[in-house]
């Protein structure tokens, strides 16, 4: 990746300590920071990357926070994470752990318009399908179906 690009990493010290000696000069690592500071860094990012180590962990809070901030979130593709990305933002889903470097490099090389579009599509998909109002709609639909079924009895 381009050494003129600046990267910020937020990690638990116990998980990242062994890698400190190989961190490139253009990466700043923050350890065990308060949530408020973490979200401030996230809000000011142009891209958040989350390589997940386990299919059971989905990083959904971080995905939703990124969307609320209008920040693209590149994440490991799992059954859980895939539903948060529309076809127009699938370039943010990484299927193979060996694809991270190439995917990050591709993102850096995309035009600002391509980045903006992918981020917008990611954000819109979440607003459309996962907003609290969408959950309320679903509850009303379920209650109406229940009401209809009890009227038929």
- Strand ranges (DSSP E) for the chain? 7-11, 27-31, 47-50, 72-76, 93-94
Query: Over 60: is that where the pLDDT of 70 sits?
Result: yes
Query: Over 60: is that where the pLDDT of 1 sits?
Result: no
Query: Over 90: is that where the pLDDT of 37 sits?
Result: yes
Query: Is the entire prediction scored with pTM above 0.85?
Result: no
Query: Over 60: is that where the pLDDT of 150 sits?
Result: yes
Report the DSSP beta bridge partners of residue 94: 76
Sign for the CA dihedral angle at 130, 131, 134, 140 comes to positive
pLDDT of residue 64: 93
- Mean pLDDT on 75-102: 89
Instruction: Quickly state the pLDDT bin for 134 (edges 50, 70, 90).
Output: confident
Give the C-alpha separation, 139 to 57, whole Å.
26
- Mean pLDDT on 109-122: 93
């Amino acid at each position: 990746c381009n050494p003129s690009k600046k990267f910020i990493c937020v990690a638990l010290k116990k998980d990242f300590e062994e890698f400190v000696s190989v961190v490139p000069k253009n990466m700043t690592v923050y350890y065990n920071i308060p949530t408020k500071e973490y979200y401030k860094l996230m809000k000011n990012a142009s891209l958040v990357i989350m390589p997940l180590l386990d299919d059971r962990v989905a990083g959904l809070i971080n995905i939703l926070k990124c969307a609320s901030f209008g920040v693209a979130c590149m994440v490991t593709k799992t059954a859980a994470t895939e539903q948060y990305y529309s076809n127009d933002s699938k370039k943010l889903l990484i299927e193979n752990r060996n694809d991270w470097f190439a995917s990050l490099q591709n993102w850096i090389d995309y035009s600002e318009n391509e980045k903006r579009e992918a981020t917008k599509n990611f954000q819109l998909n979440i607003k459309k399908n996962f907003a609290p109002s969408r959950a309320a709609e679903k509850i009303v639909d379920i209650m109406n179906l229940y009401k209809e079924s009890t009227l038929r009895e």
